[in-house]
Amino acid sequence: MRFSWMPGRTEPSAPTPRISLKVRLREACAPLAVRPFRLHYAARMCSWTGSAVAPIALAFAVLRLGGGPAGLSLVLAAGVIPQILLLLIGGVVADRFSRDQVMVWTNIISAVVEGVAALLLWAGRAEVWHLVVMSALCGAASAFFGPAAGGIVVEVVPATMRRQANALLKLSQNLVKIGGPAVGGVLVAAVGTSWVIAWDAATFAVAAVLCACIALPPARAKVRTGVVADLREGWADFWGRRWLWVMVIQGAVVVPAWLVGFQLLGPVYGKEFLKGAGAWGVVASAFSGGLVLGAAVALLTTARRVGIVVCLGTGTMALPLAAMALKGPLLVVAAATCVAGTGLALSMTVWAGLVQERIPKERLGRVTSYSTLGQLLPVPVGYLIAGRLSATIGVRSTLAAGAVVIVAAAVLPLVLRQVRVLALAPAAATADSEGALVSAPR
């Protein structure tokens, strides 16, 4: 007698053929054969090489002008505040107008603004308020650039190649991040802050030219409504997808907890327990290496169960905070940070593919802007709370609390079946369509 759950006798099936690494690499690079994506990729790579070194130059420029920590914090805040204020408008613009043209003009604005700042620094006429204005204008431009760049992959890459396209972009960005700060420091010492900022301006200009060459076909005409109506439509689409806003809430909890634990308290821990900045630099490098590894894994493999992958990847971000809370040695903290970087890059890449698949491209900019804003808003509050909390209960206790918060935020969404079953459509199902799968649940 055989129970229904027992497997019956079947003929031995043919073994699944193994795909060689050479074939996987060829498939991974397939999006680069598509000219519009190749131009987009080249533009992003060019811009990233400038953005990787510019923060070091900007910081030293402020300090050399006598701004001190207060001046530097003002410059940094000026870059973030316009993004928060204008991000939703940026989503509307990305959905109303051609995304490649939005990217062209935002790159031009950034190139001109940074070019002027570089000239002022070179001529010895710059003041801290000049750099505050520069940072604010570049932050405003990025509020429009982000939603446009996030949605353009859907327009320039066939649906079957989006996973590889997203992973290629993430992998390349993370590779540039590894050496960027070190190269920036060397260049500032060798040629001065004005030339490094001028280089960043030049990369924006080249990126603008490359984006102009993408030349997307004109968008289909649609009835023009007011900005408020567009924002309302985007909000309805965002709020109507329970899986989406639940995961955005997850990000709104995890992002500030991670930034507080790693970026704010991490260096403090490095100074007190890891013998200084050199050791903390090893930890930061381990995180960058993990980001590259995670993007490579996303490029060479296919993760179907997106909800589970994102939650597990998010949960790994608690490991470095827990290791520091337990007073772990350098190698343990570095290893935990590498794992966190891997989980973060993998989860971000597969999540981007799911959003591109499920959200109609004519509303993708607005939905993305709502998602990004939801994760940005709690960050300043998190910094303020962490400063007071660490002074009251200590750095390690605050790190432990951050680890617990991240684990809870990572696990709780899995209680919802709608999150657990989130999955990318099989390649065969998307082969006949360039947009989202029609039968995919909202």
Domain final residue, candidates 172, 189, 217: 217
pLDDT of res. 442: 41
16 in any annotated domain: no
Do 354 and 235 fall into the same domain? yes
Helices first, then strands: H and E counts in the chain: 19, 0
Query: Do 200 and 173 sit in the same domain of this protein?
Result: yes
CA distances (Å), origin 359, targets 223, 240, 365, 371, 432: 20, 11, 10, 12, 17
Report yes or no on 264 lying in a domain.
yes
In a domain, 24, yes or no: no
> Do 248 and 134 fall into the same domain?
no
DSSP state of 362: T
Residue with tokens 């710059």: 126
Q: Same structural domain for residues 273 and 323?
A: yes
Q: What is the pLDDT of residue 390?
A: 78
Q: Residue 427 has what pLDDT?
A: 54
Residues 236 and 382 both lie in one domain: yes
- Same domain for 241 and 199, yes or no, is no
- Among the three residues 217, 238, 261, which one is the final residue of a domain in this structure? 217
> Would residue 314 count as lying in a domain?
yes
Cβ neighbors of 3 (< 8 A, separation 6 or more) are none
Question: Which of 116, 295, 89 is closest to 204 using CA atoms?
Answer: 116
Query: What single-letter amino acid sits at 337?
Result: T
- Asked whether the beta carbons of 337 and 286 are under 8 A apart, the reply is yes
Do residues 280 and 182 share a domain? no
- Could you tell me if residue 22 is inside a domain? no
CA–CA distance, 180 with 186 (Å, rounded to integer): 10
> Do the beta carbons of residue 132 and residue 75 sit within 8 Å?
yes
Rg (CA), the chain: 23
Residues 160 and 284 occupy one common structural domain: no
pLDDT in tens, 134-188: 999 999 999 999 888 888 888 888 888 888 888 888 888 888 877 776 677 778 8
Total domains in the chain come to 2
Same domain for 163 and 102: yes
Nearest to residue 153, comparing CAs of 136, 141, 139, 169? 169
The angle at the Cα of 417, spanning 404 to 154, to the nearest 5 degrees, equals 90
162 and 254 part of one domain: no
Residues 212 and 234 in one domain: no
Cα–Cα dist 302/163, whole Å: 8
State the residue range of the domain holding 416: 226-427+437-442
pLDDT tens digits in sequence order for the chain, 442 residues long:
344 334 444 444 445 456 666 667 777 778 888 899 999 999 999 998 888 888 878 888 888 888 876 777 788 778 888 888 898 898 888 888 888 899 999 999 999 999 999 999 999 998 999 999 999 999 999 999 988 888 888 888 888 888 888 888 888 888 887 777 667 777 888 888 899 999 999 999 999 999 999 987 665 545 456 778 888 888 888 888 899 999 999 999 999 899 888 877 887 788 788 877 677 778 888 888 898 898 888 887 777 788 899 999 999 999 999 999 998 888 999 999 999 999 999 998 888 888 888 888 888 888 888 888 888 888 777 777 877 787 788 888 989 999 999 999 999 999 999 888 888 776 544 444 444 333 333 4
Same domain, 211 and 280: no
Give the separation between CA 399 and CA 262, rounded to whole angstroms: 9
Q: Are 238 and 245 in contact (CB under 8 A)?
A: yes
DSSP state of 5: T
pLDDT of residue 14: 47
Pick from 110, 153, 186: which is nearest to 368 by CA?
A: 153
Boundary (domain end) residue, out of 217, 248, 283: 217
Q: CA 122 to CA 193: how far, in whole Å? A: 8
Q: How much is the pLDDT for 10?
A: 44
